[in-house]
Every structure is written in C-alpha cells, then in structure tokens.
Amino acid sequence: MSGIAKEGTLRSVADFMRSYLLVVLIAALVIGTAIFEPRFLSGMNLINLMRQFGPLIMVALGMTFVIMGGFIDLSVAGIINLVAVVTISLIQIVGQVPALILGLAIGAACGALNSAVILSSGALTQAEALFMTFGMSTVYSALALLYSHGSTMHFWDINKSKSLFQAIGAGKVGPVSISFLIFLALLALLWLFQTKTTEGRAIRLTGGNKIAAELVGIRIRRSIVVIYTLCGLMAGVGAIVLFSRITTAAPVIGAGFETNAILAVVVGGTTLKGGNGSVLRTVMGVLLIILMSNCLNLLGVSPYLQVVAKGAILVFAIWLDNRKQ
C-alpha cells in the first residue's frame, strides 16, 4: 500500500506542476532574486516593473486571440512603429484626444488589412500567415520611416498640450500607475469577450479545427477579421503606452515586440496549434518574461545571455506544448 500511496503522491505533485508551473517559476524567480539582490523588492523597482508591464501585455493580449484562432501575427512590430510616429506627430496638428483616437484607428485598420490580405490570398494556415504578416510588418515599418523621415520625435518638440499622454506614461492613482489601470480594464473586457460572447468562443473553435467549425455554422472568415483587427488595435494601444512612457517615438520603436509577445503567449499556455488559450494565462506569461528580464538586469547578467535565455524558454515552452498534445 505504501508503494501505491507513494506513486499517487508523485502523480499528484506532477499534476500540480503541470497545472501551476508558471506560478511556481514566478515564485522561485521572485524569492531567488530577493535573496541575492535586495533592491528587487524596493518600491522604485516595483514601480518600474509595473510600467514595463504595460506595452508588452497590450500586444500579448491581442496576440493571444490570433494564436488561439490558429494563426500568428508578425506585423505587430511594424504597427507599433507606424502608430507611434503618426500619433505623436498628430498631437501638434489636431490635438491630443483626436491624435489618440486616430492612432488607435490606424492600429485597428492595419490589423483589418492583414486579415484582408490573408483572406484574399487564401492563406489559411499558420505558416502562410506567418510569412504574410512578416511582409506586412516590413510595409508598416517602411511607412513609418517614410512618414518620420527616419528621425526620432520627442515630446519636448510639441507645443500643444500633451497632458493626456503624460498621464498615460507617468501618471498614478495612488501607488498604481494609470497604464496599469488601463491594462486591468482591457483585461476585464477581453476576458469577458473570450468567455462570455459567441464570437469569443467561435475563435477557439476556429483555431481547434477550421473545417469542423465551418461545418457547424461558424463564420471563420469573420473570426479571422476579428482576431487580426483586435490584435492591430491592441498593438496600437501598446504603441501609445510605450511612447508615452519614454516620451519619444522612433520608426523602429516596436523592434522585438512580436517575438516577446509570442513568447509570453506560448509560455502562458496558449497552444501554437490553436484552439486553446486564455488571456489570464497570457498575463502570467508576460509577468514571467518581465520579471526574468528585471532580475537578470539587477544581477548584472549580460544582455546577450538574456536573449539566449528567452530563446531557450521559447523552445522549452513549444516542446512542452507538443508533449502535452
């Protein structure tokens, strides 16, 4: 009986680790870094973590729906580049509120254009979408370079009021940053969309099996438009939060966001094959990536080794996902 009990205990531990691996890793990272580097738990560092959380989580939340729907989107870096330089320049021309609205509209329009290109070409596999959106990212980045003439734009060059963007970038309500409150509001809306709406459930079914979804009456073409438009919109939100925080916008400001967003989504447990995922688990994935970068910076680890670590985590996450499947 003792052998059976021991086997049952080991199985329970293994099940717990599979279900709560992200929580265990985050806890281990926090405890380990706090022991070796006391500055990690300082108020200044925690505020810095909260601000870093903003831009990446916006992009990753949008990417969650694309990957859940069985596709992928490499154009978010280009969308961030374009939205950032256009929005910051429009503050001087039309004012901050219209600039904000137009910036978000540009992000959504770029996402909708991605879906139109994919649907018109019949690129309904993830591999085809990967190359199509990579090409679109190049187009958006080139447009950003043309629009800005390759130069960096700064807040201090703007004569009109930019208080709205300054509040997004550095404002706080008590100890909590405004960008973090924006994230909480968007997370609640996207969770409700994913779990409580017909379209949200249709996206998961589309990602699980497009043919079966179509046979039961799901309009997969509409789902594709929705996921890419939503991803473009969230990339636009990420761009605005990012340049509001650093007070500058360059036509290359979005470099690396596509890989970090995919990394966070996959580490969070959304399967690359589609059909399964959660915005709540994506938050955990982003938290792990941000904490890891912060901890390695505080410990003085080389930035090149940090890139190696991120790549290794992505490979391990995909390997683990395939093992689960």
pLDDT in tens, 243-265: 999 999 999 999 889 988 998 89
- For the entire predicted model, the pTM comes to 0.88
* Phi–psi pair at 284, nearest 5 degrees: -65, -40
Q: Domains in the chain, ordered, with CATH? A: 57-324 (1.10.3470)
Distance CA 206, CA 64 (A): 14
Cβ–Cβ under 8 Å, residues 179 and 241: yes
User: Residue 224, exposed/middle/buried by CB under 10 A (0-12, 13-18, 19+)?
Assistant: buried
The number of beta carbons lying within 10 Å of the beta carbon of residue 182 is: 17
pLDDT at 235: 97
For the chain, how far is it from start to end, CA to CA, in angstroms? Answer: 32
User: Residue 135, exposed/middle/buried by CB under 10 A (0-12, 13-18, 19+)?
Assistant: middle
Looking at the predicted structure, is the pLDDT value of residue 1 above 50?
A: no
Instruction: Specify the higher pLDDT residue, 323 or 41.
Output: 41
Q: What is the mean pLDDT of the chain?
A: 86
Mean pLDDT of 69-80: 95
Summarised one tens digit per residue, pLDDT across range 282-322 is 998 888 888 888 888 888 888 888 888 877 877 777 777 66
